[in-house]
């Protein structure tokens, strides 16, 4: 047994209070298809979507986090996925510029919310990027997805804007079209991810950066298990991702299963509904 194994106690986990921006799914529906999860002919239960979303919001509050909200706009059914609205680090707001015309109006709407709340470092980007869908913050660096939505040129733009190192990762499986559907940040130096969602080169980069990462199974990924949110101790994740939940427990985290099945019909879950306001 190596020294490392003999001391392999789970770390003590401490939650830090967060500020989140969320958008009610009052106008949520699946009326178009821009990812393989969306089937406009399948009915959506709007009431259930709202109750499930309220469950997530209430849970954040019970855990001591602050939840702010942005008014949903009729005709923008995907606006509930607040994670895509911007990327915020050190109080600096890097706006989102959407790939698909169905969602383009969301970018300025989210940026306007930040203006109205007194954020003064606002940036309207030159290149397409879908906010925290493709930008994830790990400690003092960013991981950035590309392949389906965010233009890789945006990665350098974000690096210059934030003054933080940005590592590009290529997504190759259309079911995992945003980085936050395939990788999740657990602490300042730990992640979980689904290797098969990434190109060979990007898998090698992830192994290099995070040799001890939790690797998700096909089953975890298929129920959107990686779309989870950690506050350092509690990890809110889709209820069906049971293997992932056990791995989190083994590492000392406290997994909390959440039901967001109606929102999954649009290809989103816990993380997609949550935009973290840092700084």
Q: Catalytic amino acids? A: 178, 272
For 232-251, b/e burial (b = at least 16 CB within 10 A) is eebbbbbbbbbebbebbeeb
Dihedral of alpha carbons 78, 108, 159, 60, sign: negative
Across the strands, what pairs with 191? 185
Residue among 104 and 251 whose Cβ is closer to ligand ARG: 104
Q: Closest approach of Cβ 168 to ligand ARG, in Å? A: 18
Q: Closest approach of Cβ 92 to ligand ARG, in Å? A: 20
Q: What distance lies between CA 121 and its chain's CA centroid?
A: 22
Q: What distance lies between CA 67 and its chain's CA centroid?
A: 16
59 Cβ contact partners less than 8 Å away, ≥ 6 residues apart: 236, 256, 258
Q: Closest approach of Cβ 178 to ligand ARG, in Å? A: 4
Q: What are phi and psi of 250, to 5 degrees?
A: -55, -30
Two tokens at 17?
Answer: 């209070």
Residue nearest to ligand ARG (CB): 272
Q: Closest approach of Cβ 14 to ligand ARG, in Å? A: 26
Two tokens at 9?
Answer: 């106690």
Residue among 13 and 184 whose Cβ is closer to ligand ARG: 184
Residue among 13 and 263 whose Cβ is closer to ligand ARG: 263
Residue among 13 and 94 whose Cβ is closer to ligand ARG: 94
Footprint of ligand ARG (CB under 6 A): 34-35, 38, 78, 81, 83-84, 103, 133, 178, 180-181, 266-268, 272
Element (DSSP H or E) covering residue 250: helix 242-250
């Amino acid at each position: 047994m190596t020294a490392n194994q003999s001391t392999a106690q789970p770390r003590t986990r401490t939650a830090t209070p967060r500020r989140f921006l969320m958008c009610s799914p009052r106008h949520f529906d699946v009326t178009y298809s821009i990812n393989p999860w969306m089937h406009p002919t399948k009915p959506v239960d709007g009431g259930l979507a709202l109750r499930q979303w309220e469950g997530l919001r209430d849970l954040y509050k019970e855990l001591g986090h602050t939840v702010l909200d942005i008014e949903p706009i009729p005709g923008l059914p995907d606006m509930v996925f607040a994670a895509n609205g911007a990327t915020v680090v050190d109080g600096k707001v890097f706006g989102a510029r959407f790939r698909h015309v169905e969602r383009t109006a969301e970018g300025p709407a989210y940026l306007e919310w930040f203006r109205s709340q007194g954020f003064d470092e606002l940036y309207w980007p030159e290149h397409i990027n879908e906010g925290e869908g493709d930008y994830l913050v790990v400690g003092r660096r960013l991981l950035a997805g590309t392949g389906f939505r965010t233009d890789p040129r945006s990665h350098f733009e974000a690096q210059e804007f934030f003054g933080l190192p940005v590592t590009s990762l290529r997504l190759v499986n259309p079911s995992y079209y945003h980085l936050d559907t395939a990788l999740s940040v657990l602490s300042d130096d730990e992640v979980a991810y689904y290797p098969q969602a990434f190109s060979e080169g990007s898998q090698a980069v992830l192994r290099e950066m995070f040799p001890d990462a939790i690797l998700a199974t096909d089953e975890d990924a298929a129920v959107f298990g990686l779309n989870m949110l950690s506050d350092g101790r509690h990890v809110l994740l889709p209820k069906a991702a049971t293997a992932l939940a056990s791995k989190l427990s083994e590492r000392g985290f406290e997994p909390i299963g959440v039901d967001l099945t109606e929102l999954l019909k649009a290809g989103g879950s816990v993380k997609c509904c949550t935009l973290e306001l840092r700084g």
